[in-house]
Structure 1
Amino acid sequence: MANRPALSTAEGGEADARSKISDSFSFLDVLHANQFEGEFVEPQHAEQVEENFYRGAPPNWLNFYISEQAVSDGNATPFIKRDGYETLKEQIHLRRKGPGTSTIKLFHQQGCGGTTLAMQVLWDLRKTFRCAVLTGSTLDITKVAQDVVSLFTAGSHGHQKTVLLLLNDEFIILQDRIMDEIAEQDIEIDLPVVILLNCVRSSDGIIHQKARSYELKQKFKRKMRKSIILKKSLSDREQADFDMKKEELGRRFGDRCKQFHGFNILQSNFSQAYIRNACATLEHIKRINKPLKMQLAAFLCLLNAYVPGSYLLESQCLDFLRRDKFGHLSLEDQMQPFSHLIVTFQQGERSEKKVCMAHNMIAQCCTELLANAGVTRSDTTRHFLNSFCRSYVPPYLLGFIKDMLNKREITVIEDPTHGIKEWKEKFSRLIQDITKREDEGNSLSVLIMASNKFYEVSLFPQTLARFYYIQLEDYYNAEIWAKEAKRRAPWSSFVADTLGQVHKSHLKKMPVYTRPSEILQLAQKAIEAFEDEEKLAKNEHAKGKQGDGNVKVLRALNTRGLFGYLEVCSLLYDHLIRHDELWKQVLTRTMSLDSVLKSTGDRNIVRFKELINSLRDLVEKRFEFFDTFLTYSYSVVKRDDSSYMSRKTIECYKKYVGDAEPNDQLQKAFHKLKQKLAVTSPGVLSCLERCTRSDTKDIAVWWREICQHKHSATHALLNYVLANIMLINLKEPPSSSDYQSSFREKMPLAPEMQPKFHMLALLLCWPTDGEHELASDLPHLIQNILQSYEQEYKSLFQSRYLRPIFFLGPGQGLNRFVHRRNLEILWTQDALEDPKTNWRNDDIFTDPTVQGKLLRIEGIVQDYRLYATFGDTEIELDANRKDSLWKKGHVFFYLGFTIGGPVAYNVHRAEERLLKTFDNETDSSQWTKLKPEVEIMEEVHTYSLQSESGKYECSESALRWVCKETVSFRYQFSSWERFMRKPVCMDYIPAGPLMDIKVTDGKLEEVRLPH
């Protein structure tokens, strides 16, 4: 009799999972602790499941159970453990000691066994964790979070157990949603809620980049790794295991194991010779009179070669073959002599049987062999669309076709000069291969057929329009198909973007002799297309905000229309000034349009007078949007905010600001600020990233001049104060000392004022180091900025990460505010490097030089909330990482300020200090703590200490030393950089912060480094 399904518990036992909970998971396939135990598995069925797996079918839980039983019976060798297996298990176990939620990624190349490895780890840990697989892809992150928490808490309080969740997608905000759900349900936890195992199938280029990145950076850091990499190559140990397993399979299955292509490809270390030999039956195929089985094999090859994880249903294959006189036979019999290359499998008792090629490398090889024989990729694609897409097309198959014809891969290369470079390919791999190996006409034919066949889908005409304008530079047909895509999805801003891109590309390619009126006409079409996209993007964003309580992932605002607008304006500017330099003055509005009418003789320009006069203001408005957008926030998707976007918006803005200065003194100051990109608060706050020291001094002077004007607005004073903080961060004296009191006179601020005012008010009123009593109503100031942010920016930034602007450091007045750029320079050790620091993961705070710049603040965590403590007063703060609030108690953190309010970074407990004391000496009473004298010169801290005979510990760094006589010494934290470049150090790994210690008197018997 089968055992009841059970879940593992915290005590190592099992809890009954028959309750409604176990059947209520919408998105989780739960692996029970006692899966299959007590069940009778028919030997014939077990053998078939095992054979299918070795032939190339995806793994299922029964494979691991069968293997486990065979090993225990002494009938088989263990399931092969790839080299990443032990590392992955170790990393998962390390995370059991960590925060409420954590992530480990497994990057793998297609067909190298990545999914099998991930499932094998889950199977082996099913009694240690509550294991589950996220089924399908969903945007309903809230429901996924609810399922995870329900699995974590299934049973009584004592039965809580950490969930190990396998997912094939990167749900970036899932961790925060899970902690929100825990807090909402008021669940007390004393162990991690979930460990997310992201199994990410990646291209060869990305795998190489990840492996290289690990070699250069990851091994220098702590034991905890962010990712494991599995490649298409076997180590000597793995090869020996595969060879042993091959002998065993030969004894058990005889000649049948020759067709175990899924296994044999790995055992042969992905040998191309083995693959060619396996595909030999296709080498002599003729193009004409292809039997149905040959056509079906070609379809499967094409799908599996270009769409990982794709398949056809067995019923669909049989329906296709029924037109043949042998249609009454089984699929395997009908597909001879190609049957050994094809696998039929079933995932779940209720699901239909699926058919695919044994391995993607076989699919690729067969596709190439067929193409060499005249059965081209384009012919096969067209034939497939005609054969399988006649009437109703099931969603899964439409998804595969969309990926095959439209999905563009990310390419990664290592540039010796600029480091890692990555970009999105222009078209899908299949379309690129057809274009390269056949011709553009066949690519066009395939896309036209798909567009006509799927007459309601906008994606195919969109790709077709892109092919026309990018590949063929046929802007007439590109416009037709872009408009057709818009007709099919009139609500989509992303579809609308294509029409704007068509016109923009056409404008870019216009010959130099084109008349100004023609240039303006095309630019107007492009601008109108991008303005339409902007309206649709706002509508999409507004609808996403309105929700029904079951919040899904809020889609980020599509800013391509805004950016496209600026690109068009930049191109228009360049085209027109090639005709006549007078256009510079016209476009910057320092000269009227009449002045160029005479010189060009093109009277049609007058029709565009309204457009020309509006450009400068609209360019400035869009630039200021991007400056705010990128200064205060960044995308959680790495590629969305490229430095290219920032560079291009600045380039366009400067063109339309121009060089001509106004006569009015006040307007002249504003114009200079525009030229230095510092006419807004975000611009002033970005001075350290894009202005020289001299420019920053000038910016402070110009804002002072504006402030001194009798009609100056409050925002001028705000920007003047911010400019002075920038100067202080450059170790320059402020331009005046009266700015603080002037701003304080404006307080209390009206609640409806913009968040930037409330942020500065918070900075000025925050208690200084050692101040335990609050000098102002801090909770009220925090409430003001939260409310102001809610009204001004929350909907805009809700799907983005708020960048910290300042951090609280030691000291008094404005000297204690450290701009994020200064910390980024310390972290990257490169002032010229693009500021791409990932503030979300808190890694930057592991650097001792960064720590030395910041003030360590005490607080307390209770009920999943963080409070800063000032004497008897507690102030609630947001935490950068919600998973740091899973355990209540006293904590330490660093305080940062975003445009949304104060945020606690690197929340950690006393026992988690980043510089830990020597592990073997648990009794701290043996060590006498001494406070060092600290001397600061050019940002370098030098610590000096003197002691009598004894055992001592530095109170600043936890450095310990033992001496038998009076000793004096000093030390600094140094950079490894200059040492690691020396040949003698090349093979060594930095083991923590480097300390430069110099004894000035006496002798040290022992020195114990803090790490």
Structure 2
Amino acid sequence: KSPNRAIELLKEAFDCFHQDPFFAQQLARLLYTYEKFEEARHWAETAARQLPNNSYILDTKGQVYRKWFQAKCKAIENDNIPKTAENTANAVEIALKALECFQECERAADAEMEDVNSSGFFSEVEIGCSLLKLISSLQVFADRTNGHSECMKYLLTDYIPEELESSWEPFHGRLKKIHKTMQDALEWISEDLSYFQTDIGDEEEIPESQEEKISHPLMWLAKKSSEYGKYFSEADSAAFLKQGQSVSTNLTPFQKRMIIYHLGGGNIISILSKLADQKDGVRRLESILTLYPSNPLKAKFTQRDIVNYIAAHISLNCLSPQTKNVDSLLNLQTLCRQLPSDKKKCLPSALFLLILLFWPEDHDTEQEKESKYETVQSAVEHLEKDYWTKMKDIPQRRRRIYTHFFLGNGIGLDKYVHKRKFDKITKGFSVSEKRLKWFSGEAWKMTEIATMLKRVSGWTEDRVVYLEGPQKKKFNIRPLFVPSVPHSNENITFYLGFTFRGPVACNILVKK
């Protein structure tokens, strides 16, 4: 009710408590809430000078500039100020300063071993999208029939329109990197969500210690990935969605990649989120796949292209098993040969897909099974290393690994059962009831779930679970719920789940 009094109290506290930087941080937060941006910047910088490697303080500094930029954009809109290079230069400068702060926040967060602060990545994407919106609405671009292609030419090449040359002279180099830095931030978020999501019920919020809480990170990622793709493909996307494949033959690989982003196929998590949308998911995934080369085995794919292409096929098959647009398991396995032979160079998402695609089938010969187990075990070994890098020194209870798929009774691509498939079965239960059913093991006994999944055999040795099958090297499978492992050495059966740490054993039962 009385911000001035609160501001004075925090200033007094700052002096009384030996110029504690956290009081300076709180002052900055309070001041930007009341749009006192100059003063907020002073206090954010005061805090950052004392704790230059604290990611949360660097995030606050970024938020000052972010809110300031939002206020500048609002003023331009409300006052009907012509969107010229001169009139927007100050807003662009503030946005770039915010991006710089959030990138500093990301680097600091990466070095913090006992915490994960993802706010810098989320905020970088948010302000990047807002900045792209402002740039694309400039008169120099908006008033031309080929405005979008002119805007892309400016952002993606050395070209600088005459109208922007002097007023934006300090910004050109940084603005031309924005498509790459935003893509990197989106990829980081996708990878983080690949490991850790909520297991049941509503999606979790990004922790409260961050200033800008993201309530539904999966939905946020799908939306922002699409928005990012839209800004870099607007005219091309519109033509493609209207005329389809006839247009796609004239598009460059970059244009196709941006349309794929716009359609929701830019990263593995955005693709897998389509599994929650039975109606629109099939149409979008089919459209995404038409943008890839007709013969992918001869195409020069990047590693991310391979991951997204395979994930789109698996997702489409989960949603529409009868579709003719899905490639065969054998072709997808062959495509994996384009991945680096040195598994240390493979992305975690690529290693995850190797485990899925090369999981042996009952009709394989013993030699084929052994060869596939070698591929799978090598991928698991490297995924485990990536997992511990990601976990840092954080207790596992704070970051629970997410199970994406389960091994089903089908063959080929039909053997992958995505966790979303269970949502329909447990739909009538509250979040707490669902949680109880999974942890008690009751959910696994539900007929609809039991008929979908395949039980595999194994044994326990000193409370370690092993899979029956591999001959050369024992295959240790982590239990999803440790107390379910019998204390004595037993022959067991269990369901197999697939996580970004490798396979997990679920619903372990002792063989009678």
Kept after mapping to 2: 8 A contact 1:891/1:908: yes
How far did 1:683 drift? 4.4
Alignment of 1:615-626 (within 5 A): 615-626=178-189
Q: 2:330 pairs with 722, 737, 740, which one? A: 740
Q: Which has the higher strand share?
A: 1
Q: Find out whether 1:805 has 2:404 as its counterpart.
A: yes
Q: 1:643 pairs with 212, 216, 221, which one? A: 216
Kept after mapping to 1: 8 A contact 2:265/2:288: yes
Residue 656 of structure 1 corresponds to which residue in structure 2? 231
How far did 1:765 drift? 3.6
How far did 1:634 drift? 2.5
Following the alignment from structure 1 to structure 2, what is the Cα–Cα distance between the partners of residues 723 and 839? 31
Equivalent residue of 1:818, what SS? Answer: strand
Q: Say if 1:758 and 1:448 are closer, same or farther in 2 by CA, change over 3 A.
A: closer
Q: Say if 1:560 and 1:742 are closer, same or farther in 2 by CA, change over 3 A.
A: closer
State the Cα RMSD in Å: 3.7
Q: 1:851 pairs with 450, 453, 472, which one? A: 450
- What do the CA deviations read for 1:322-348 (whole angstroms, capped 9, x no partner)? xxxxxxxxxxxxxxxxxxxxxxxxxxx
Kept after mapping to 1: 8 A contact 2:333/2:358: no
- What do the CA deviations read for 1:551-579 (whole angstroms, capped 9, x no partner)? xxx322x2111222122222223334444
How far did 1:718 drift? 5.3
How far did 1:620 drift? 1.6
Kept after mapping to 1: 8 A contact 2:370/2:470: no
How far did 1:760 drift? 3.5
Equivalent residue of 1:876, what SS? Answer: coil
Residue 352 of structure 2 corresponds to which residue in structure 1? 759
Q: 2:361 pairs with 768, 778, 798, which one? A: 768
Q: Say if 1:709 and 1:524 are closer, same or farther in 2 by CA, change over 3 A.
A: same
Equivalent residue of 2:495, what SS? Answer: strand
Q: Find out whether 1:475 has 2:37 as its counterpart.
A: yes
How far did 1:829 drift? 6.3
Residue 504 of structure 1 corresponds to which residue in structure 2? 66
Kindly tell me the number of residue pairs found equivalent between the two proteins: 454
- The amino acid across from 2:115 in the alignment is R
Kept after mapping to 1: 8 A contact 2:154/2:176: no
Unaligned runs of 5+ in 2: 143-147, 207-213, 237-247
Q: 1:530 pairs with 73, 81, 102, which one? A: 102
Q: Find out whether 1:828 has 2:427 as its counterpart.
A: yes
Residue 883 of structure 1 corresponds to which residue in structure 2? 483
Residue 567 of structure 1 corresponds to which residue in structure 2? 126
Q: 1:781 pairs with 375, 378, 386, which one? A: 375
How far did 1:466 drift? 0.9
- What do the CA deviations read for 1:553-612 (whole angstroms, capped 9, x no partner)? x322x21112221222222233344443716555544677977553x7x84222211122
Following the alignment from structure 1 to structure 2, what is the Cα–Cα distance between the partners of residues 764 and 477? 56
How far did 1:616 drift? 1.4
How far did 1:740 drift? 0.9
Q: Find out whether 1:443 has 2:6 as its counterpart.
A: yes
Q: Say if 1:655 and 1:700 are closer, same or farther in 2 by CA, change over 3 A.
A: closer
Q: Find out whether 1:907 has 2:508 as its counterpart.
A: yes
Unaligned runs of 5+ in 1: 1-434, 545-553, 912-1011
Q: Find out whether 1:794 has 2:356 as its counterpart.
A: no
Q: Find out whether 1:895 has 2:496 as its counterpart.
A: yes
How far did 1:524 drift? 1.8
Following the alignment from structure 1 to structure 2, what is the Cα–Cα distance between the partners of residues 527 and 713? 27
Q: 1:555 pairs with 92, 95, 115, which one? A: 115
Kept after mapping to 2: 8 A contact 1:808/1:895: yes
- The amino acid across from 1:732 in the alignment is Q
Following the alignment from structure 1 to structure 2, what is the Cα–Cα distance between the partners of residues 505 and 581? 26
Kept after mapping to 2: 8 A contact 1:497/1:533: yes
Using the size of structure 2 for normalisation, the TM-score is 0.77
Equivalent residue of 2:467, what SS? Answer: strand
- What do the CA deviations read for 1:215-262 (whole angstroms, capped 9, x no partner)? xxxxxxxxxxxxxxxxxxxxxxxxxxxxxxxxxxxxxxxxxxxxxxxx
Equivalent residue of 1:883, what SS? Answer: helix
- The amino acid across from 1:845 in the alignment is W
- What do the CA deviations read for 1:732-769 (whole angstroms, capped 9, x no partner)? 32426555156248669543352444433433443435
How far did 1:539 drift? 2.2
Structure having the higher Rg: 1
Kept after mapping to 2: 8 A contact 1:773/1:871: no
- The amino acid across from 1:698 in the alignment is S
Following the alignment from structure 2 to structure 1, what is the Cα–Cα distance between the partners of residues 226 and 470? 51
Q: Percent identity?
A: 21
Following the alignment from structure 1 to structure 2, what is the Cα–Cα distance between the partners of residues 838 and 797? 26
How far did 1:493 drift? 0.8
Structure of greater relative contact order (alpha carbons < 8 Å, 6+ residues apart): 2
Residue 29 of structure 2 corresponds to which residue in structure 1? 466
How far did 1:686 drift? 3.8
How far did 1:869 drift? 2.5
Following the alignment from structure 2 to structure 1, what is the Cα–Cα distance between the partners of residues 376 and 159? 54
Residue 318 of structure 2 corresponds to which residue in structure 1? 729
Q: Say if 1:603 and 1:490 are closer, same or farther in 2 by CA, change over 3 A.
A: same
Using the size of structure 1 for normalisation, the TM-score is 0.41
- What do the CA deviations read for 1:414-433 (whole angstroms, capped 9, x no partner)? xxxxxxxxxxxxxxxxxxxx
Q: Say if 1:746 and 1:509 are closer, same or farther in 2 by CA, change over 3 A.
A: closer
Q: Say if 1:703 and 1:878 are closer, same or farther in 2 by CA, change over 3 A.
A: farther
